[in-house]
A and B are shown apart, each in its own frame.
Chain A
Amino acid sequence: MIVRFFHQMGSPRYFYNVAGKMIPWFAISFLLTLIAGIYYGLFVAPPDYQQGESYRIMYIHVPAAWMSMFIYMVMAAAGLISLVWRIKITEITIISSASVGASFTFLALVTGSLWGKPMWGTWWVWDARLTSELLLLFLYLGIIALYSAIEDKRVAARAISILALVGVVNIPIIHYSVEWWNTLHQTSSVTMTGKQAMSTSMLIPLLLMAISFKLYYGAVVLMRARAEVLERDRNTRWVRELVEGEMK
Chain B
Amino acid sequence: MSTLSLTSAFTLLLKRDLLLAYRRRAELVNPLLFFVLVTAMFPLGIGNDPKLIQAVGPGVIWVAALLAALLSLDTMFRSDFDDGTLEQFMLSAHPISVLVLAKILAHWMITGLPLFIAAPLLAMMLNVPTDAIPTLMLTLVLGTPVLSLIGSVGVALTVGLRRGGVILSLLVLPLYVPVLIFATDAVKTSIVGIPTSAQISILAAMLVGSLVLAPLATAASLRISLS
Using a CB–CB cutoff of 8 Å, the interface residues on chain A facing chain B are 83, 131, 135, 138-139, 141-142, 145-146, 149-150, 155, 158-159, 162-163, 165-167, 169-170, 173
Q: Which residues of A contact B227 (CB under 8 A)?
A: 155
- Partner of B174 from the list A155, A165, A167 (CB cut-off 8 Å) is A167
In the bound complex, what is the Cα–Cα distance between A167 and B177 (angstroms)? 12
| Inter-subunit contact A159/B167 (CB<8 Å) | no
- Partner of B153 from the list A131, A166, A170 (CB cut-off 8 Å) is A166
Tell me the smallest distance from the CB of A24 to a CB of chain B, in Å: 37
Q: Mark B161-200, 1 if CB is under 8 A from A, else 0.
A: 1011001001101110110010000000000000000000
Using a CB–CB cutoff of 8 Å, the interface residues on chain B facing chain A are 150, 153, 157-158, 160-161, 163-164, 167, 170-171, 173-175, 177-178, 181, 217, 220-221, 224-225, 227
| Inter-subunit contact B174/A162 (CB<8 Å) | no
Q: Which residues of A contact B158 (CB under 8 A)?
A: 146, 149
Beyond A158-B224, A159-B225, A162-B220, is A146–B157 a contact (Cβ under 8 Å)? yes
Beyond A138-B170, A149-B167, A162-B157, is A83–B220 a contact (Cβ under 8 Å)? yes
- Partner of A142 from the list B161, B174, B178 (CB cut-off 8 Å) is B174
Beyond A149-B167, A162-B157, is A138–B224 a contact (Cβ under 8 Å)? no
Beyond A131-B177, A173-B178, is A146–B221 a contact (Cβ under 8 Å)? no
Main secondary structure of the interface of A (DSSP, over half): helix
10 example contacts (A-B, Cβ-Cβ < 8 A) are as follows: A138-B173, A138-B174, A142-B170, A146-B171, A150-B160, A155-B227, A158-B224, A162-B153, A162-B157, A163-B157
| Inter-subunit contact B174/A135 (CB<8 Å) | yes
Tell me the smallest distance from the CB of B16 to a CB of chain A, in Å: 27
Chain A, Cβ-Cβ closest to B161: A149
Tell me the smallest distance from the CB of A48 to a CB of chain B, in Å: 32
In the bound complex, what is the Cα–Cα distance between A51 and B220 (angstroms)? 50
Q: Which residues of B contact A162 (CB under 8 A)?
A: 153, 157, 217, 220-221, 224
Task: Pick the most buried of B153, B161, B171, B173: most chain A CB atoms within 10 A of its CB.
Answer: B171
In the bound complex, what is the Cα–Cα distance between A39 and B111 (angstroms)? 59
